Amino acid sequence: MSEPTRRDGPPTRAEFCAVACAEAWRGDGEILANPIGTIPMIGGRLAKATFEPLLVMTDGEAVLVENIVPVGVADAPKVVAGWNPYRSMFDIVWNGPRHIMMGASQIDRFGNQNIAFIGAIDRPSAQLLGFRGAPGNTINNHTSYWVPNHSPRVFVERVDVVSGIGYDRAAALGPIAARFHGIPRVVSNLGVFDFATPTHAMRIASVHPWSSVDEVVAQTGFALEIPTDVPVTRTPTDDEIRLIRDEIDPLGLGEREVPPT
């Protein structure tokens, strides 16, 4: 595995994205932070290492760990604090204390997410992962999303298949069935998005410093809610940069998912 070339200097795009993901878990307290994918994993472990120390996390496999395990490092030391095979994970999902961040092949204005397939169910034009755990995640837990390739093909007017349910589907179910639903944020390589609008339509929460509102709008296939003043995503602190480079992502795997330029 080759060493990353850029490990000093100002924060990278990957580090901005990881910090934006970390912010998803701010205020969550003692719950399972369950990031799926490289940048979300860096973000989740960063949140636990800094402002949300009570978060419970897995090693990415079948145990809960109390220490900050570096991403993608084989045989890293683990302070094991629980056995969590897949079956036990369903206990946590259905019991409730969990906030997952997962990917989305498509996501729409109200946060409906598709990872299953494109086209018709009997003969899809593209079979993707399948529903996986998305229906269960979104009806039981807070679910955030990470999209490394923000484009009109991902941010679509209407998803082909609803795997993870959005705010319109949740509203249609009513306040009892949907009482555990919530999408705290969507982080992409261009910006951060939330649903803090009267209709729960997706809003630009911030744009990353290398992006702009115009670029985000151009790369989004539906009309985003745009506040009068759109802030720039916050800059990683020196402490966060040091933690990412030295402890959480020493192999620089995040730099591969979001390249420097």
The residue ranges that bind another protein (CB under 8 A) are 61-63, 83, 85-87, 90, 93-94, 116-117, 121-136, 138-140, 161-165, 169-170, 172-173, 176-178, 180
> How far is Cα 16 from Cα 35, in angstroms, rounded to an integer?
16
Alpha helices in the chain (DSSP H): 13-22, 38-49, 86-95, 134-140, 167-173, 213-218, 238-242, 253-257
Nearest Cα residue to 72 out of 240, 261, 250: 250
| Minimum CB distance to another protein, residue 239 (Å) | 33
3-class SS at 188? strand
| Minimum CB distance to another protein, residue 133 (Å) | 5
Of 66 and 215, nearer to another protein (C-beta) is: 66
| Minimum CB distance to another protein, residue 30 (Å) | 23
| Minimum CB distance to another protein, residue 163 (Å) | 6
Of 93 and 201, nearer to another protein (C-beta) is: 93
Of 16 and 110, nearer to another protein (C-beta) is: 110
Q: Specify whether the CB–CB gap between 39 and 257 falls below 8 A.
A: yes
Return the half-sphere exposure (C-beta side, CA atoms, 13 A cut-off) of residue 13. 18
3-class SS at 139? helix
| Minimum CB distance to another protein, residue 135 (Å) | 4
Of 180 and 199, nearer to another protein (C-beta) is: 180
Of 166 and 184, nearer to another protein (C-beta) is: 166
Beta-sheet pairing, 57-58 with 32-35: unpaired
